[in-house]
Structure 1
Amino acid sequence: MIQASGQGGQMAFDGQYVSITREGFLGRATHGRGEKRLHVSQISSVQWKPPGMMTNGFIQLTLPGGAERQVSKGSRTLDATKDENSVVFTKKQQPEFEQLRAALDQAIAAQHTPQHAAPAAPVSVADELAKLGALLQQGILTQQEFDQHKARLLGG
């Protein structure tokens, strides 16, 4: 489990679910009490703004169908404090959030990686001989070609 505590909220990731919880006056005033849990498959991207010399940074989870709007450069962190899928953090808290971000990026990428299909079941010699017999009857193979393929299948 990777956990990171920020300003008025925490994020935790257990490999499957991200939990966002709020604490303190700031967290409860903007989002209320409680916990929000998102399965990694629900997250389409992670937005990241590192803290600057005079500003905090934030991590923001983007969900498919979410209404993201372009904001001016100076108000991005302020807007993140109002977003239920964001947590604001200081320079001192940044390493925890970098670790969380890396784990989320890897899990999101794994969700979008195609799974390999199961290997096909091996075909039996009897099935192959039946196919060859059908090809012989249809006139696609000559008797000589059939005999050659049959001998190869039977190890001869």
Structure 2
Amino acid sequence: MSGGMVDIIDVKGASGRIVFDGEQVTIFRGGLLGRPASEAAPHRLHISEIVAVGWRPAGLTRGFIRFETERGRGLARFGRDAAREAAQEGTVTFRARQQPGFAELKVAVERAVAAGRGDSPPADTAATTTEEIARLSHLVQSGAITQEEFRQAKSRLLGGG
């Protein structure tokens, strides 16, 4: 899209699917055998609710993306179980081959959160992008993703659509 509009980002991970439309993050949880769980309502977060984006890249274990909110941070005073439940609500895990899409999502959400606050993008965004491109290169070398997938993910990370 053009004119400052954000393309919808839709990524599927090991523990759920996330759709980001530029203003809202929606997390869908899968049911048994990956089928949609009819009783599980999607978890929606407006960018104004997100205070931080947690990230662990996939390696020997699954990676994760976590959307932290003030509400989740406030629950820490009620004990570890409440805080853990809030963290799980805003967390999706992913495998190495799914990481490029989640890296794109992370950068897009961080930019939207910063813009919503009137801040400049996080200072580590450039370093994060560089690190992610290096990780993508490693995934190509290991055969986890194709050269074309690498080019597409790199282009998205660099803002080329």
Shorter-chain TM-score range: 0.5 to 0.7
Q: Equivalent residue of 1:61, what SS?
A: strand
Letter in 2 for 1:101: K
Q: Deviations over 1:64-112 (max 9, x none)?
A: 1423899xxxxxxxx79x7010000000000010010010010011112
Letter in 1 for 2:52: S
Going from structure 1 to structure 2, the CA distance change for 1:26 and 1:2 (only over 3 Å counts) comes to same
The answer for the alignment partner of 1:19 in structure 2 is 26
Larger helix share, 1 or 2? 2
Q: Following superposition, which runs of at least 4 residues in structure 1 exceed 6 angstroms of deviation? A: none
Question: How far off its partner does 1:26 sit?
Answer: 7.3
The answer for the alignment partner of 2:12 in structure 1 is 5
Equivalent-residue separation in structure 2 for 1:60 and 1:26 (angstroms): 23
Q: Paired residue for 1:90, among 71, 76, 95?
A: 95
Please say if 1:63 is aligned against 2:65.
no
Quote the RMSD (CA, aligned, Å): 2.8
Which structure's CA Rg is the greater one? 1
The answer for the alignment partner of 1:42 in structure 2 is 49
What is the TM-score normalised by the length of structure 2?
0.56
Going from structure 1 to structure 2, the CA distance change for 1:101 and 1:26 (only over 3 Å counts) comes to farther
The answer for the alignment partner of 1:110 in structure 2 is 115
Equivalent-residue separation in structure 2 for 1:42 and 1:83 (angstroms): 16
Letter in 1 for 2:15: G
Q: Equivalent residue of 2:107, what SS?
A: helix
Report the identity percentage.
39
What is the TM-score normalised by the length of structure 1?
0.58
Unaligned runs of 5+ in 2: 1-7, 77-83, 120-161
The answer for the alignment partner of 1:101 in structure 2 is 106
Unaligned runs of 5+ in 1: 71-78, 115-156
